Amino acid sequence: MYTVKGKADKNSLLTEHMPLVKRLAHQMKAKLPPSVEVDDLVQAGMMGLLDAINRYEENHGAQFETYAVLRIRGAMLDELRSSDWMPRSTRANMRKVEQAMATLQQQLGRPPSESEVAKSLKLSLPDYQDLLGDSGGHQLVYYEDFHDEDGSDGFLDRYAVDDDDPLKSLLDTDFRQTVIDAIDALPPREKMLMGLYYEEELNLKEIGAVMGVSESRVSQLHTQAVARLRTYLRERSWT
């Protein structure tokens, strides 16, 4: 894998990690609307892999694959953002949901129920659940989260030491533990769902069978859980 000069053989790294790109693309596609093409994600991921190969140095203190995963996923998210796959109206609706959750959390001292969020938004419960269903693919972190609303530098400049090494930056902060704490603060049902989805890697249909609900209901609960996580993280100034 290494040349006589001690440098990583880029072609070998590229060939070896192509399956990783495809696996990450299919994992991400499973969380996105049908309009998103997996081939587009793979193409973007390959660009991320090439970027990782060109930037990686052993003194980064991390295994190459760990570093590459960040670059690959980041490239895929950039592709999703540039193609504007989620309508702005949907993103705006989810911001309203998050704002309602934050207000109710402060008032109640606990995570608000679906009915309470729906009432705060002046929606019927079915209409609120439909809104969640239509917002499938809502992400924990978006590109815009890296900047404050006034356009000034945000997350990265506050918490990243070296923009060329995001892995080291994240590991050197409490971001990972904050996400763990946010998941732990979810209502039991949504906490179980997130565990089945991200740890056990079950798909929505399989999770529905475990929880005794429909696949569409799982999608609604997942979107709501992500909104709760974003609310938790924002209150702690991580997004």
Q: What is the mean pLDDT of residues 190-211?
A: 89
Q: Per-residue confidence at 174, pLDDT binned at 50, 70, 90?
A: low
Residue 140 · residue 230 · CB < 8 Å: yes
> Tell me, what's the pLDDT at 83?
66
Band (pLDDT 50/70/90 cuts) for residue 10 is: confident
Which whole number is the average pLDDT over 176-183? 80
Per the listing, tokens 């729906």 go with: 118
| pLDDT tens per residue, range 76-100 | 888 877 765 566 778 889 999 999 9
| In the predicted structure, residue 9 carries a pLDDT above the cut 50 | yes
The whole-model pTM stands at 0.59
Q: Per-residue pLDDT averaged across 125-134, rounded?
A: 93
The predicted structure's pLDDT at residue 162: 41
Number of CB atoms found within 10 A of residue 86's CB:
21
DSSP secondary structure code for residue 201 in this structure? -
Task: Indicate the residue type of 56.
Answer: Y
Spatial separation of the C-alpha atoms in residues 30 and 23, rounded to whole Å? 11
The b-or-e profile of 191-219 (16+ CB within 10 A means b, else e) is eebbebbeeeebebeebbeeeeeeeebbb
Distances (CA, A) of 74 to 41, 70, 71, 154, 210: 11, 6, 5, 17, 31
Helix, strand or coil for residue 2? strand
Single-letter code of the amino acid located at 30: A
For residue 107, what are the contacts with CB-CB under 8 A and spacing of at least 6? none
Separation CA 19–CA 93 (nearest Å): 36
Instruction: Indicate if the pLDDT at residue 2 is higher than 70.
Output: no
Does residue 172 carry a pLDDT above 90?
no
Q: Predicted confidence band at 62 (pLDDT cuts at 50, 70, 90)?
A: low
Q: Is residue 182 over pLDDT 80?
A: yes
CA-based nearest residue to 227, from 141, 122, 125, 110:
141
* Angstrom distance (rounded) from CA 175 to CA 172: 9
37 vs 105: which has the higher pLDDT? 105
Burial class (CB in 10 A: 0-12, 13-18, 19+), 149: exposed
Query: Would you place residue 144 in the very low, low, confident or very high pLDDT band (cuts 50, 70, 90)?
Result: low
